[in-house]
Amino acid sequence: MSKTAITAAPILPVLAERWSPRAYDATHEISQHELLSVLEAARWAPSGNNTQPWRFSVATRGTDLFEKIRSGLGGFNAAWSPNASAYIAVSVTTHHADGSPVKSAKFDAGLATSQLVIQAHELGLHAHIMGGIEHQVLTEALELPAGVEILVVITLGKVAPATSLEGPAYEREIAPRTRLELDEIVLTGKP
């Protein structure tokens, strides 16, 4: 399925073609090379003062950790996501060594996550970022230390036909991609 964005100006094809599926090929096994490639892309994201506050917990389908992460997903996400090849949980360190807060931690993790997702698409994979998660369940399942906060979980894998889904998941899968228009998000400074 193609969901190429209709843009007001040309953008890179990898950006225009990227979208977040829910239908994944349950037979695809992600390679170590693919995982290293997406994580390496995330590693090289910009960050405030080069703090690199992002942390990734990686679990491939069929492992105990994959099931632990699944148990921390919201009901809708837990229903469609298990066919993905991997889950990547994104967390951040919240404080510097001196105890002061890392003010840009979530923004920086967003940049790293974006690069991970774009690299996945470049490799012929798809990713879907899920915010519908049980933070405390995942914090415990991932054994995150104090000062590390879970943000989102990403699915990663090969896309499958939308017909592998049912109900609301299918409806969302076949819906066209939409975004607010530029004039709705670009602030001009006028009252």
Evaluate whether residue 66 is within a structural domain: yes
Is residue 53 within 8 Å of residue 92, measured between CB atoms? yes
* pLDDT score of 102: 95
Q: Which residue has the tokens 């910009």?
A: 46
pLDDT tens per residue across span 34-47: 999 999 999 999 99
pLDDT of 191 above 80: no
Q: What average pLDDT does the structure give for the chain?
A: 94
pLDDT tens per residue across span 115-168: 999 999 999 999 999 999 999 999 999 999 999 999 999 999 999 999 999 999
DSSP per-residue string spanning 130-152: E--B-HHHHHHHTTPPTTEEEEE
Evaluate whether residue 30 is within a structural domain: yes
Give the CATH number, domain containing residue 63: 3.40.109.10
DSSP bridge pairs for 148: 93
Rounded CA separation 156/183 (Å): 33
Per the structure, the count of domains in the chain is 1
Handedness of CA 91, 97, 101, 104 (dihedral sign): negative
Is residue 26 within 8 Å of residue 160, measured between CB atoms? yes
* pLDDT score of 162: 93
What lies within 8 Å, CB to CB, of 93 at 6+ separation is: 51, 53, 55, 102, 105, 147, 148
Evaluate whether residue 2 is within a structural domain: no
* pLDDT score of 188: 80
pLDDT tens per residue across span 51-97: 999 999 999 999 999 999 999 998 899 999 999 999 999 999 999 99
* pLDDT score of 152: 98
* pLDDT score of 75: 87
pLDDT of 170 above 70: yes
Evaluate whether residue 40 is within a structural domain: yes
Evaluate whether residue 27 is within a structural domain: yes
* pLDDT score of 189: 65
* pLDDT score of 14: 94
Evaluate whether residue 73 is within a structural domain: yes
Evaluate whether residue 33 is within a structural domain: yes
Rounded CA separation 18/23 (Å): 14
* pLDDT score of 18: 93
Evaluate whether residue 11 is within a structural domain: no
* pLDDT score of 77: 95
More confident residue, 1 or 143: 143
Domain with 51 in it: 19-169+177-185
SS3 129: strand
Q: Which pLDDT band, with edges at 50, 70 and 90, does 6 fall under?
A: confident
**Structure pTM?**
0.93
pLDDT of 2 above 80: no
